[in-house]
């Protein structure tokens, strides 16, 4: 019998700094980004970001039309902010889930303590915040 892999997330430092900066810039509206990286044996390594084309947002929602995305197999999920200060995924977040992981950043977007990762069922995932000069596996 196959054992179910527990997913975990590795977030590179320049990526989490970029996410925090983007969320601050978009505040008080939500900001949304596409996460780029790879997944291997349950570990999702995020090493890049893309601003989705034709994205839209206000104080309670951020989204983008997926039909305008170019084919890119490195997309692993999305990151978006919650200006309200809660990092819990909403029902809308779960219904609009994209990829393998959803990162939600709660206001005030100051450091890694404001960043949380979730799977498509709303289960919190472990995040490792990695400096860019760390050894590659």
Distances (CA, A) of 69 to 46, 50, 52: 18, 10, 7
Residue 137 has pLDDT above 50, yes or no: no
**Which H or E element spans position 59?**
none
Output the pTM of the full model: 0.89
pLDDT category, 136, cuts 50, 70, 90?
very low
What structural domains and CATH numbers belong to the chain? 8-130 (3.40.140.10)
| Residues 44-102 pLDDT 10s | 999 999 999 998 888 888 989 888 888 899 999 999 999 988 999 999 999 999 999 99
């Amino acid at each position: 019998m196959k054992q179910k892999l527990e997913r975990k997330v590795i977030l590179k430092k320049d990526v989490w700094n970029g996410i925090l900066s983007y969320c601050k810039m978009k505040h008080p509206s939500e900001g949304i980004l596409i996460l780029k990286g790879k997944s291997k044996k349950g570990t999702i390594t995020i090493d890049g970001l893309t601003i989705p084309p034709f994205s839209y947002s206000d104080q309670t929602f951020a989204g983008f039309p997926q039909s305008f995305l170019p084919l890119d197999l490195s997309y692993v999920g999305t990151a978006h902010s919650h200006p309200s200060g809660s990092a819990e995924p909403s029902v809308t977040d779960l219904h609009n889930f994209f990829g393998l992981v959803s990162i939600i950043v709660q206001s005030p977007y100051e450091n890694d303590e404001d960043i949380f990762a979730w799977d498509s069922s709303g289960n919190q995932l472990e995040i490792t915040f990695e400096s860019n000069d760390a050894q590659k596996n």
